[in-house]
Structure 1
Amino acid sequence: MVVARRRQVQTRKVLAAALAVTAALLSGCASSPPPAKGFEAAALQPYRLDSGDRLRVTVFEQPGLTNTYTVDQAGYIAFPLVGQVAARGQTLPALEGSIAGRLKQGYLRDPDVSIEIDRYRPVFVMGEVGRPGQYSYVPGMTAQNAIAIAGGFTPRGNERDVDVTRKVNGQVATGRTAITAPILAGDTIYVRERLF
């Protein structure tokens, strides 16, 4: 009778401990970042320039102005004749118009400016991957592609979804997405540790 009573007490302690662990795990799941407002839609918008992008700027019939230019940390490119031109947050057509407008102000009569991206800013892959770090972005890249380039998942890596941090409307936001979701240049992908 005493032995049976001790077993019941031990069983209750084990059940209480299991419930406490389960509650802690569930509360950890509840604090996970939700998809941010506009987060998924940002991948469908026209590409916006930022620090680290390298641009190939062509000014028709002006070989002295045609060159590659990198968007600096302040978000500008240093363009001959006109000086600093704001590039951060601009689309390629908007930046073409901005440079052409500045060149019209006393330098060229009717400048024809064309810009293409020579090299995108990198993506960062962190967490439970083989080789965390900075990697080159390729248009159309998904989180799964970036993880593969970073050495794939570790045995503890959560392979269902990832946390992605990106700029949305000028604000840094983190959201949880499927590994098949498209990513953008400059994104940080974080692979969490799976629970079981």
Structure 2
Amino acid sequence: MRVLLIGLLGLLMAACATGEVMTTEGEGLAYRLAGGDGVTVTIFNEPELTGDYRIDELGALELPLAGAVKAAGLTTEELQTEIRQAYLGRYLQDPRVRVEVSNPRPIYVLGEVSRPGEYEYGESLTVMQAVAKAGGFTYRANRSVFYVLHHGGDEEKKYKLTPTTMLQPGDTIRIVQRFF
């Protein structure tokens, strides 16, 4: 048992030392809304205010009566609070609001794949699944590392390619060429 614990500790330390640790199960990553996301806003007992909306490129959500509500950078729970505040007192006494992401931003797959391009994001999408959507690797592809530019980021990050590496909506992944 002790040898097993020491071995696991060594593996954990090695993973942290590489600086290439990307979550493999999506833990700790709260989905942050951004321009282009589609959301379903439900205001209970208010069918005329309930509907599907798209966050504009400036990060705002245009709602009936309430007008523009800042949505970019917020989680769905935080947006629920903002929408509640927009309606509270002015139009509704006690609005009960629910927000769900109905149409997340697409992902982009570039580089050494058969069909580079834009692809629909699906819940719990892994890098390997994104590569499969793009027709698989070319024969020149480096199958051990890839690069990600996260939505809203300004710098690509290099990660080790594993079957369980998760993507976020709006990510751009780039599969590079191997050198040998």
- Please tell me the TM-score bracket, short chain as reference: 0.7 to 0.9
Q: Take 1:159 and 1:40, find their aligned partners in 2: how far apart are those partners?
A: 16
Aligned pair partner of 1:80 in 64, 79, 83: 64
Between the two proteins, what is the percent identity of the paired residues?
A: 37
Residues 1:40 and 2:18 are matched in the alignment: no
TM-score by length of 2: 0.82
Contact kept, 8 Å, 1:59 with 1:66, in 2: the verdict is yes
Could you give the per-residue CA deviations for residues 51-108 of structure 1, whole angstroms, max 9, x where no partner exists?
Answer: 1110011000000011000011111110111101111100000000000011003100
Contact kept, 8 Å, 1:54 with 1:71, in 2: the verdict is yes
Could you give the per-residue CA deviations for residues 130-181 of structure 1, whole angstroms, max 9, x where no partner exists?
Answer: 00000011121111110110010011111111001114xx643321112331
Aligned pair partner of 1:175 in 157, 163, 172: 157
Residues 1:95 and 2:93 are matched in the alignment: no
Q: Would you identify which runs of 4 or more consecutive aligned residues in structure 1 move more than 4 Å? A: none
Query: What are structure 1's unaligned runs of at least 5 residues?
Result: 1-33
RMSD: 1.7
- Greater Rg over alpha carbons, structure: 1
The residue aligned with 1:26 is: none
Q: Take 2:158 and 2:80, find their aligned partners in 1: how far apart are those partners?
A: 34
Q: Take 2:99 and 2:54, find their aligned partners in 1: how far apart are those partners?
A: 12
The residue aligned with 1:105 is: 89
Change (3 A) 1:35 1:87: farther
Residues 1:154 and 2:138 are matched in the alignment: yes
What amino acid is the match of 1:174?
Answer: E
Change (3 A) 1:68 1:35: farther
- Other structure's SS at 2:154 match: strand
- Other structure's SS at 1:40 match: coil
TM-score by length of 1: 0.76
What amino acid is the match of 2:46?
Answer: Q
Contact kept, 8 Å, 1:124 with 1:186, in 2: the verdict is yes
- The alpha-carbon deviation at position 194 of structure 1 amounts to 0.6
Q: Take 1:94 and 1:61, find their aligned partners in 2: how far apart are those partners?
A: 21
Query: What are structure 2's unaligned runs of at least 5 residues?
Result: 1-17
